[in-house]
Amino acid sequence: MKILVFTEKPFAPAAVKAIENAINAAGAEMKLVERGTREDLLKAVADANALIVRSDKIDGAVMDAAPELKVIVRAGAGYDNIDLAVATAHGICVMNTPGQNSNAVAELVFGMVVMMVRNQYNGTSGTELKGKSLGIYAFGQVGRNVARIAKGFGMDVTALDLFVKDEVMEAEGVKPLHTPEELFEQNQFVSLHIPATPQTRGSIGYDLVMRMPKGGVLINTARKEVIDEAGLLRALKEREDLRYVSDIKPDNAQEMLDACAARVFFTPKKMGAQTAEANFNAGVAAAEQSIAYLRDGWNKYQVNK
């Protein structure tokens, strides 16, 4: 069994070692390509039976170049980087590793929020999170971790997720909401955890953001595609009390920084899941899932069924 680990954004070295150990313990062979180009990927995938990736784009050309490929495991949650229809047509199973990096992403939400409400540590008086309202958009693994941490800060937590029953949220001390309008109107802080799908693309824009109460802070550790960037910029320009922190640089980042200066913050590269622990958990899970699929057809987390 040949397992290719291709990561444009490398895992922590200890995680790579653990992935290799898991693969070797199963009698399989790991090929590692870090920071590789697309050409590197097309070449390296030629004899791979399994492919482990992060946000790396896996389309038909990659699958055409991989006649032996049986399974692709996205070491992480979102799989919008993989062409599922083409994978299905090629008979390739695609899985993700749900929950393995969600705490890391949730912690970064608060890392960015505290920095923003303390005015990016410029020495002026900021504000606290205690007693403030937080709305979580999508109550999946990351959203639940965000809720847990927010309660530690003493925030009032609400969430919107039409796929999750109200009782599930209530059991975790979270008030369920049922429309995006309510979510934005009722919360000073809104944290996005929706995947990028045809339904969500560009869905967060001017109209929703303008509904936020005074001092609204929008937090995005999900995907840049879910934002209508022109609409968000317009709202930020019209309302000087609004702020935006994002782990994914928008295409109009410079325009936003020029217009809003310290009211916006972007990490240089998406790094929500970039912790040693998340790399280890997601990477080893991806290795074990690849092996289990190749050996026994185990496909619990298949996303192209």
In the structure encoding, which two tokens stand for residue 270, read together?
A: 């998406």
In the structure encoding, which two tokens stand for residue 22, read together?
A: 């898991």
Give me the least distance between CB of 240 and ligand 3PG, in Å please: 30
Q: What are phi and psi of 22, to 5 degrees?
A: -60, -40
Give me the least distance between CB of 170 and ligand 3PG, in Å please: 27
Nearer to ligand 3PG, 82 or 212 (CB): 82
Nearer to ligand 3PG, 94 or 212 (CB): 94
Give me the least distance between CB of 79 and ligand 3PG, in Å please: 8
Give me the least distance between CB of 202 and ligand 3PG, in Å please: 18
Distance, in Å, from the CA atom of 178 to the CA atom of 197, rounded to the nearest integer, reads: 19
Distance, in Å, from the CA atom of 271 to the CA atom of 108, rounded to the nearest integer, reads: 8
Nearer to ligand 3PG, 3 or 155 (CB): 3
Nearer to ligand 3PG, 157 or 194 (CB): 194
Nearer to ligand 3PG, 79 or 156 (CB): 79
Nearer to ligand 3PG, 101 or 289 (CB): 101
Give me the least distance between CB of 262 and ligand 3PG, in Å please: 26
Q: Which residues bind ligand 3PG (CB under 6 A)?
A: 9, 54-55, 76-78, 101, 270, 272-274
Distance, in Å, from the CA atom of 37 to the CA atom of 213, rounded to the nearest integer, reads: 45
Q: How many residues does the chain have?
A: 305
Nearer to ligand 3PG, 273 or 294 (CB): 273
Nearer to ligand 3PG, 103 or 158 (CB): 103
Give me the least distance between CB of 264 and ligand 3PG, in Å please: 20
State whether residue 160 is helix, strand or coil.
strand
- 234 CB-near residues (< 8 Å, 6+ apart): 206
In the structure encoding, which two tokens stand for residue 263, read together?
A: 């009211």
In the structure encoding, which two tokens stand for residue 161, read together?
A: 């997720």
Give me the least distance between CB of 154 and ligand 3PG, in Å please: 28
Q: What is the CA radius of gyration of the chain?
A: 20
Tell me the residue nearest to ligand 3PG as measured from the CB: 76
Distance, in Å, from the CA atom of 286 to the CA atom of 75, rounded to the nearest integer, reads: 5
Distance, in Å, from the CA atom of 224 to the CA atom of 4, rounded to the nearest integer, reads: 28
Give me the least distance between CB of 281 and ligand 3PG, in Å please: 11
Q: What are phi and psi of 275, to 5 degrees?
A: -125, 160
> Which parts of the chain are beta strand (E)?
2-7, 29-34, 50-53, 71-74, 93-96, 133-137, 156-160, 175-177, 189-192, 217-220, 243-246, 264-266
